[in-house]
Every structure is written in structure tokens, then in C-alpha cells.
Amino acid sequence: MTTASPDGPERLLARTVSDILASDPDVRDLLERESGRQRSTLQLIASENFTSPAVMAAGASVLTNKYSEGYPGRRYYGGNAVADEVESLARNRATTLFGAEHANVQPHSGASANLGAYMALVEPGDTILAMRLDQGGHLTHGSPVSITGKLYRFVAYGVTPATPDGSGERIDLDQVRDLAKRERPRLIVAGTTAYSRTIEPAAFREIADDVGARFMFDAAHPAGLIAAGEHPSPVGVADIVTFTTHKTLRGPRGGAILTGGDLAKAVDSAIFPGLQGGPLEHIIAAKAVAFAEAARPKFRAYAAQVRANASALAAALTGEGFRIVAGGTDNHLMLVDLRDFDAELTGKVAQEVLDRAGITCNRNQIPDDPRPPFVTSGLRLGTAAETTAGMREPEMGRIASLLARALRHREDEAELASVRGDVADLCREFDPYPDGRAVS
């Protein structure tokens, strides 16, 4: 016999989001449209993925109702017995997954995680050495338009020049070393948003040690690859590792920080009360689900396939006449230089054309791009999402040919409609939510 009322939480959890949102058809219809868009077009944005229904269910749970300022065992509100267990579970799963001593799972985003790491490691006005945004870095690595660029004195390194054989456009470690010796930063940051090659944490550690700097690794992009052993782990090498949970790691939208026990208190205080208020315990529950999923052997196979698919896509695009920055990819993403394919084609136009053809990606500056950031000469593509949907190497060839067809015939609406139809057929074969639970 059950004592739950028909509208109690148990009942709500048993229903689909669409059923529940019958009371708000405006929002229900928007969610259904977005679900349809994600499932009928190709998702090639390198920072996106399809979470499991279990991750989504935890993120849509009753924990959204709970205030839990503080940390497990030290909260400023009552009623946190369950929230404490949820957050402890997420922390334990994160430390086990990555082999870290301490995890803070409260950052609402990668940007919050990075700011928290800076607050734990340096003082306003201190010098930080990080990668230039237009060479593959991130806004929070000191862009003048980010609060990070206003609070700290950033000095930037970049990549080596492009070479015809593809051996260039690698992080310029000689430049990192020279700048570190000249500028004496308190902190060196490794980590990128648009870099297709492996980043060696040990090389940065050595430079940081030479100049007495701390070392932070922003693993937002490769976190899932690191968890699966498909990218060298910065854990135990860097003083602090920040990451997002929604990219290759395939969890809910959010951030996290890993560190040794020595910096645990500084990191925790930086996030709360330093930067944030109440943690999102529903999202923390979803992070816990994702950490457990990423610990399974199936996830290791997934991450290996993500990389194999990225290599296959890069090779197929090269065959279509595109230049791949840095000559290819070691990870889940690639930067496509459009100029060899068509000197007139900008990243902005390519992104818009591909949107019309049902291929979702983002324009991106390539290293030393002659065009401004809003226009660009490149596209960034990633394979994390469509690998989740089940695609493998043969589908990467189909994607490259669809993408090239759309861009070659970009003035021809009938041809774009035909590509869109072929994209929809491909997506029907590889539906990430085959039982229709995209919003539940």
C-alpha cells in the first residue's frame, strides 16, 4: 500500500516532463521543439553532449527545493541530512573517478570553478600566465572582457606557427618557459577550448616548478577523456584541476574542482562563501550520477570511440579539401580552417549555412586568424555528442560529405534542403533518446 498522494513527488517523478508540463503548454512546446531539434539535426558543438535520462531525472528532482549553503556537516539551514549525503556521494565519486584527494562539486559552471581556483591560489593584481583566447584559450583565462582579466594581470602564450606538414600549431612550450622566466607569474594555467592536440601536464609542472609558480589545469574539455584514461591526467600534477561536467564527461551543465588536501579549505572557501550562495543540490545529484556512469567500462569504450571518430572526421574533411588546424586531432575536437576549401567562405557564413542544413556547430577563430572573432575563418567541430548517439567511423565520413556538400552549394536552397533531409535520415538511425525520453 502506498501513502503517496497522486501529486506527491513520487508520482511526479514517474511522469514524463511533457505530461507534467501540460499545465504550461508554452514551456512544454518549447521543450518538445528543442528535443526535436537535438534529435533531428547533427550536434557537432565540441562542448556539448547528450546526458543520460538518469542524469536528467536527478537534475529535475525535488532537490531543487532545498537550500544548503555550506558543505556536508556544516550547513547554515536545517533539513540537510539528505542533501549532505547527496553532496558527499558526488564528492566521493569524483575523487574516486579522478584519483583526487579532494573535490568541490558546487561550482555552477566552469567559469565559477576557474574563478574559485584563482581566488584560492592568487591575490588580485598577481600575474597569471595562460593561453590566448584567439589561440585556443578561454575567456576566463584573462580576456579583458572577463572579470578575470580585470582582477589579475594576465600574460598570454600561444601556439607555434602553422607548417605545411601539420607539425605546427602546438602549444609553444618554449614561449611558456620564456614568459614564465621573464614575468615570474604566481600561477600558470594550462587548458583550452579549441585545441585538438594532447596537453602534457608534466611539461607545465616542470616550468611552474622552475619559476616557483602554482599550476592550474582547466580540464573543461577533456574531463571525460581524462576519466577514461584517454588523455594524460593532470590530477596530482597540477595544484588545482577545474572542469565542467557537461562536455566529454556527459553530465549535467556545471563545474567542479579537484585538489590536494592542502588546498581543500582554500578552494571550498573560495566557492562558498567567496563566490556563490546556495549550491544546486539537484545538479550535484546529477553530477553524482554522471561520475558513476563515467566509472563504468562502457564509458571507457565511449571515450575511445569519441577520439577515433574525431580522427575519422578530420581525415574525411581533409579529403573534402579542408585544412585541419595542427594537422589533425588527438582528442574529441578539431578546428577546421575554411580558407583552403574556399577563400571567400567565413566561419560566420559557414555556421549559418550549416544551421540551415541541420548541422549544428560553431565558428571559431583559428590561430593567427586574419578575420575578427565575430566573423572568423574557422569552424570548431566535436564528436562527443554524436558518439553518444552511437555513430562510428563510417558515419563520420557521411557527416564530412554532407558538410562539404552544404558549403559547396550554399547559395542553392534546394540542395540545402536535400542535405537537411539526408541529415534527418542519419539522425533517425542514431537517435540519442530512442525511447523518446529526451525531456524526461
- The nearest distance, CB 13 to ligand DSN, in angstroms, is 31
For the chain, the C-alpha Rg in angstroms (whole number) is 22
CA distance 320 to 241: 38
Q: Which residues between 352 and 381 bind ligand DSN (CB under 6 A)? A: none
Q: Based on CB atoms, which residue is closest to ligand DSN, 138 or 332?
A: 138
Q: How far is the CB of 109 from ligand DSN (least distance, A)?
A: 8
Closer CB to ligand DSN, 127 or 244, in the complex: 244
Site for ligand DSN in 123-142 (CB under 6 A): 138
150 as an active site residue: the answer is no
| CB nearer ligand DSN, residue 47 or residue 387 | 47
Alpha-carbon torsion angle 319, 325, 328, 332, nearest 10: -110
Residue 192 CB, nearest approach to ligand DSN (Å): 9
Residues 323-342 interacting with ligand DSN (rule: CB under 6 A): none
Nearest to 341 by CA among 408, 399, 416: 408
φ and ψ of 121, to 5 deg: -110, -30
Q: Is 43 in the site for ligand DSN (CB under 6 A)?
A: no
Phi-psi domain of 70 (left: phi exceeds 0; alpha: psi -120 through 50; beta: other): left
Query: Strand, coil or helix: what is 301?
Result: helix
Write the DSSP symbol of residue 284: H
Q: Which is nearer to ligand DSN, 47 or 318 (CB)?
A: 47
Whether 348 is a known active-site residue: answer no
253 is catalytic: yes
Q: How far is the CB of 110 from ligand DSN (least distance, A)?
A: 6
The verdict on whether 247 is a catalytic residue reads: yes
Cα distance between residue 63 and residue 226, in whole Å: 29
Least distance in angstroms from the C-beta of 139 to ligand DSN: 7
Catalytic residue chosen out of the listed positions 28, 32, 67, 200: 67
For 208, phi and psi rounded to 5 degrees? -60, -45
Query: Between 393-408 and 347-356, two packed helices, what is the crossing angle to 10 degrees?
Result: 110
> Residue 244 CB, nearest distance to ligand DSN (Å)?
7
**What is the DSSP annotation of 359-402?**
EE-EEEPPTT-SS-TTT-SEEEEE-HHHHHTT--HHHHHHHHHH
Say which amino acid occupies 375: V
Which residue's Cβ has the minimum distance to ligand DSN?
47
193 scored as a contact of ligand DSN (CB under 6 A): yes
Does 245 help bind ligand DSN (rule: CB under 6 A)?
A: no
Q: Which is nearer to ligand DSN, 52 or 242 (CB)?
A: 242
Query: Of residues 134, 218, 330, 386, which has the active-site annotation?
Result: 218
Single out the residue of 41, 43, 47, 377 in contact with ligand DSN (rule: CB under 6 A).
47
The set of residues, in sequence order, having a beta carbon less than 8 Å from that of 275 and lying 6+ positions away, is 112, 115, 116, 119
Residue 206 burial (CB count, 10 A): 14
Catalytic residue selected from 132, 205, 247, 307: 247
| C-beta of 243 vs 322, nearer to ligand DSN | 243
Hey, which bits of 179-328 come out as E strands? Answer: 187-190, 214-218, 240-244, 255-259, 323-324
Residue number, 218 or 281, with CB nearest to ligand DSN: 218
| 110, 136, 158, 201: residue in contact with ligand DSN (rule CB under 6 A) | 110
Question: What count of Cα atoms within 13 Å lies in the side-chain half-sphere of residue 50?
Answer: 28
> CA 205 to CA 237: how far, in whole Å?
7
Are 147 and 161 in contact, with CB atoms under 8 Å apart? no
CB of 324 to ligand DSN, least distance (A): 18
Contact footprint for ligand DSN (CB under 6 A): 47, 110, 138, 193
Give the residue numbers marked as catalytic.
67, 69, 218, 244, 247, 253
